[in-house]
């Protein structure tokens, strides 16, 4: 695969196309923005990896107030061409992070699930939206971690390590990426795109499956919408 990265305007166009299809609403690229309906927009973060399939996506709920309405996350795809690799990264983002963000707009359960502040499977004190769970790997047990994540909600396990580490009381994005390939394993929590060491250690200590052969990985996203008794500023 060529190591050349696609130009940002091409990547934004691909994101706009997939969001338009998911929402059945028009999106278009204007300069360094992909603009959606109303105040929605997407920008790209700076290339900090050099990997042609790694993209940093900033989803802006209100383009006039990006400071407190932007949810940032990244994704890395794979494929045989830059277009295929970036397309896969966008699909991964849309199936996890994007599904939670679109559900924030829809509020009807069509994209992702809601957990109330007092739900035992949720995040205590916060209303959260749980994005989709994607998985990939090699071998007979390649879906093992994905299936475990679907049956074992992460939020109540991560909450003690995460509580008190947020710099705002609404729209906190928490990404989980974890799995193993037999010889090594990964367990990473990112909060608004930044690695969270304590929560990552908690994730590493959970009893998700580690297949002896092949590989199995999962990724999911939690959107902490607002603290109990407060409304999201979207």
* 227 vs 158: CA distance, rounded Å: 16
Which two structure tokens, joined as six digits, stand for 151?
């049956």
Which two structure tokens, joined as six digits, stand for 100?
């939670």
Residue 92 dihedral angles phi and psi, to the nearest 5°: -65, -45
Which two structure tokens, joined as six digits, stand for 111?
């994209």
Q: How many CB atoms lie within 10 A of CB 203?
A: 21
Q: Which pLDDT value is given to residue 5?
A: 83
Which two structure tokens, joined as six digits, stand for 64?
């006039």
* Domain residue ranges of the chain, discontinuous segments joined by +: 8-106, 114-227
* 131 vs 112: CA distance, rounded Å: 5
Q: Which pLDDT value is given to residue 3?
A: 57
Q: Which pLDDT value is given to residue 229?
A: 54
**What torsion, rounded to 10 degrees, do the Cα atoms 182, 49, 34, 66 define?**
100
Model pTM above 0.95: no
Per-residue pLDDT of the chain (234 residues; tens, 9 = 90+): 345 889 999 999 999 999 999 999 999 999 999 999 999 999 999 877 778 889 999 999 999 999 999 999 999 998 889 999 999 999 999 999 999 999 999 999 999 999 999 999 999 999 999 999 999 999 999 999 999 999 999 999 999 999 888 988 899 999 999 999 988 999 999 999 899 999 999 999 999 999 999 999 999 999 999 987 544 434
* 86 vs 92: CA distance, rounded Å: 10
- Output the 3-class SS for the chain: CCCCCCCHHHHHHHHHHHHHHHHCCCCEEECCEEECCCCCEEEECCCCCCCCCEEEEEEECCCCCHHHHEEEEEEECCCCCHHHHHHHHHHHHHHHHHHHHHHHHHCCCCCCEEECCCCCCCECCEEEEECCCEEEEECCCCCHHHHHHHHCCCHHHHHHHHCCCCCCCEEEEEEEEEEECCCCEEEEEEECCEECHHHHHHHHCCCCCCCCCCEEEEEEEEEEEEECCCCCCC
Which two structure tokens, joined as six digits, stand for 204?
């590493």
Q: Which pLDDT value is given to residue 234?
A: 41
* Diameter over CA atoms, the chain: 51
């Amino acid at each position: 695969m060529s190591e050349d990265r696609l130009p940002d305007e091409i990547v934004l166009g691909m994101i706009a196309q997939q969001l338009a299809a998911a929402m059945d609403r028009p999106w278009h690229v204007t300069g360094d923005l992909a603009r959606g309906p109303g105040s929605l927009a997407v920008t790209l973060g700076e290339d900090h990896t050099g990997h042609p399939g790694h993209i940093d996506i900033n989803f802006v709920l209100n383009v006039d107030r990006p400071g407190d309405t932007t949810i940032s996350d990244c994704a890395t795809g794979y494929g045989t061409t830059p277009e295929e690799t970036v397309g896969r990264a966008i699909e991964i983002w849309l199936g996890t992070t994007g599904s939670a963000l679109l559900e924030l707009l829809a509020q009807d359960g069509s994209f992702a699930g809601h957990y109330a502040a007092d739900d035992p499977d949720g995040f205590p004190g916060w209303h959260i939206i749980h994005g989709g769970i994607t998985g990939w790997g090699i071998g007979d047990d390649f879906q093992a971690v994905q299936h475990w994540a679907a049956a074992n909600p992460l939020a109540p396990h991560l909450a003690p390590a995460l509580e008190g580490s947020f710099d705002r009381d609404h729209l906190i994005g928490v990404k989980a990426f974890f799995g193993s390939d037999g010889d090594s394993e990964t367990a990473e929590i990112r909060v608004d795109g930044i690695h969270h060491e304590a929560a990552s250690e908690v994730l590493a200590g959970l009893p998700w499956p580690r297949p002896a052969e092949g590989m199995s990985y999962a990724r999911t996203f939690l959107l902490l919408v607002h603290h109990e008794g407060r409304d999201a500023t979207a």
